[in-house]
A and B are shown apart, each in its own frame.
Chain A
């Protein structure tokens, strides 16, 4: 038996990639440049696709392969390319201006991670033997952390485009939870979700463009003044 067929090795790889996903989420919180943010998101999605792939390999589950491929196509390639084009099109290369500065954001992020750990611990079964089916169960804490930090990023940002990015990274957390706990959802639901995300991304991109055209800014706080 080769070492990569050992599910202990698979477990290590999944855990490692999940940790990198979490690191990238924190990079996204602190990073000031929009383009770097988009690339961090693309890399995060790519890693999630890798995790899905690994789980599919050890469980011989073709429909998870399909989910991984969708993930790769839609969120690691299509959406990032679209957003980068949008950034060049509306000529915003400037920095993200978060409401809370980077050091405090990092501390809040850390607290949210701890909260995720506390929540996930109640689902933790340490006596469960390691088998292909239980691969990735220990990434639930990371999934919840991604979800919470995604929420925090959405609240913390002013520009519409960066809020969209936060929403998508939040969705990444949901994907990780689904894939690690339940082998992923049924195929048809999976396809539906990705289609949903793609359409949402496109609609939001167009919306961002329109906001920018109309208000000369992407700052959503300006949307409160509805009188022309």
Chain B
């Protein structure tokens, strides 16, 4: 029992601490590629600290949804992160639910965020919400298809069991269904975390913003919570990618040596994925909004193909 609680606490701490670092690392990489010096690696931590100490302004038109959203978003995202194996094969809350719970916890957070965007009655917020929903309506089926492909291979939607069964098979990640599902999930990662071909988090240009438009009215600690939740969501999706498709190195128990080893390996995998994401961001221009569904349709087709090919190449 104590061990279980420790595992939960350990992963919560790790997720909370690591997620701003991933965001910071991404910014540094992009800045360097554009030959700028860029912000410090620790800038996201400083931003969060600064925001948490500030006062905040709440619009007169806002209802309880506006105040509830940051908490709902933060808690659902954090909960989702506990369902995914991070350093040990057994995710701390894996008994609570599998990958479907992850998808729908994220969807719940997104639902509240979209409501909060509408809640203040500002036209930007409403526009941001409608765009976010348009994109996620196509991104979610793609995510589900990719995830089902993996689940069929393991015979369970529980991510711990998926990771466990994946560890046993050699050359598994070369299977076409895995590759296609990975590609689909990668596009979903780009879209859901608001990376460049889809959205640009570092701009407040009114014509293009999606995520930023929804949280335009937030300030102070609430904004800090939302920013932090966005960073955690990014980490959750990245964890899903690296630990479900490449689960080698995940420790089987909680002995310090094994945990340290798998932590190092996990950081390396995360580093690699961040570099790939940064390369995609640097190499592409932002898409027109009406082209975004086409990109996500590609993810959907890839996901569907992945699912079909588990049956196509049996044996």
A and B, one complex? yes
* A19 adjacent to B171 (CB under 8 Å): no
Interface 0/1 of A111-154, CB less than 8 Å to B: 00110010000001110100000000011011000000000000
Is the C-beta of B153 less than 8 angstroms from some C-beta in chain A? Answer: no
A142 and B312 in contact (CB under 8 A), knowing A8-B170, A23-B180? yes
Instruction: Collect the chain A residues with CB atoms within 8 Å of residue B305's CB.
Output: 19, 22-23, 26, 113
* A126 adjacent to B314 (CB under 8 Å): yes
Is the C-beta of A9 less than 8 angstroms from some C-beta in chain B? Answer: yes
* A19 adjacent to B179 (CB under 8 Å): yes
The complex places the Cα of A125 from the Cα of B313 at a distance, in Å, of 12
Instruction: Collect the chain B residues with CB atoms within 8 Å of residue A128's CB.
Output: 315
B window 278-315: CB within 8 A of A: 297, 301-302, 304-305, 308-309, 311-315
Instruction: Collect the chain B residues with CB atoms within 8 Å of residue A142's CB.
Output: 312
Instruction: Collect the chain A residues with CB atoms within 8 Å of residue B205's CB.
Output: none
Number of A-B contacts (CB under 8 A): 59
In the assembled complex, how far is the CB of residue A111 from the closest CB belonging to chain B, in whole angstroms?
A: 11
The complex places the Cα of A22 from the Cα of B308 at a distance, in Å, of 11
Which has the most chain B C-beta neighbours within 10 Å: A19, A22, A126? A19
In the assembled complex, how far is the CB of residue B134 from the closest CB belonging to chain A, in whole angstroms?
A: 16
The complex places the Cα of A128 from the Cα of B311 at a distance, in Å, of 17
The complex places the Cα of A106 from the Cα of B311 at a distance, in Å, of 19
* B311 adjacent to A16 (CB under 8 Å): no
Question: Contacting A113 at CB < 8 Å: which of B175, B179, B297, B308?
Answer: B308
In the complex, the chain B residue whose C-beta lies closest to that of A14 is B313
* A16 adjacent to B179 (CB under 8 Å): yes
Is the C-beta of B174 less than 8 angstroms from some C-beta in chain A? Answer: yes
* A15 adjacent to B171 (CB under 8 Å): no
The complex places the Cα of A18 from the Cα of B305 at a distance, in Å, of 12
* B174 adjacent to A26 (CB under 8 Å): no
* B301 adjacent to A19 (CB under 8 Å): no
In the complex, the chain B residue whose C-beta lies closest to that of A109 is B301
The complex places the Cα of A103 from the Cα of B297 at a distance, in Å, of 9
B: interface residue count bin: 20 to 34
Is the C-beta of A110 less than 8 angstroms from some C-beta in chain B? Answer: yes
Is the C-beta of B176 less than 8 angstroms from some C-beta in chain A? Answer: yes
Instruction: Collect the chain A residues with CB atoms within 8 Å of residue B176's CB.
Output: 15-16, 18-20
In the assembled complex, how far is the CB of residue A161 from the closest CB belonging to chain B, in whole angstroms?
A: 24
In the complex, the chain A residue whose C-beta lies closest to that of B312 is A141
In the assembled complex, how far is the CB of residue A137 from the closest CB belonging to chain B, in whole angstroms?
A: 8
In the complex, the chain A residue whose C-beta lies closest to that of B172 is A12
In the assembled complex, how far is the CB of residue B287 from the closest CB belonging to chain A, in whole angstroms?
A: 16
Question: Contacting A106 at CB < 8 Å: which of B179, B301, B308?
Answer: B301
* B170 adjacent to A124 (CB under 8 Å): no
Instruction: Collect the chain A residues with CB atoms within 8 Å of residue B174's CB.
Output: 12-13, 15-16
Instruction: Collect the chain B residues with CB atoms within 8 Å of residue A19's CB.
Output: 176-177, 179-180, 305, 309, 312-313
The complex places the Cα of A113 from the Cα of B301 at a distance, in Å, of 13
* A110 adjacent to B314 (CB under 8 Å): no
Interface 0/1 of A174-205, CB less than 8 Å to B: 00000000000000000000000000000000
B window 169-207: CB within 8 A of A: 170-171, 174-177, 179-180
The complex places the Cα of A43 from the Cα of B304 at a distance, in Å, of 22
Question: Contacting B313 at CB < 8 Å: which of A9, A13, A138?
Answer: A138
Instruction: Collect the chain B residues with CB atoms within 8 Å of residue A13's CB.
Output: 174
* B315 adjacent to A126 (CB under 8 Å): yes
Instruction: Collect the chain A residues with CB atoms within 8 Å of residue B301's CB.
Output: 26, 106
Instruction: Collect the chain A residues with CB atoms within 8 Å of residue B309's CB.
Output: 19, 22
Closest 8 CB pairs of A and B: A19-B176, A12-B174, A12-B171, A126-B315, A15-B313, A141-B312, A138-B313, A16-B176
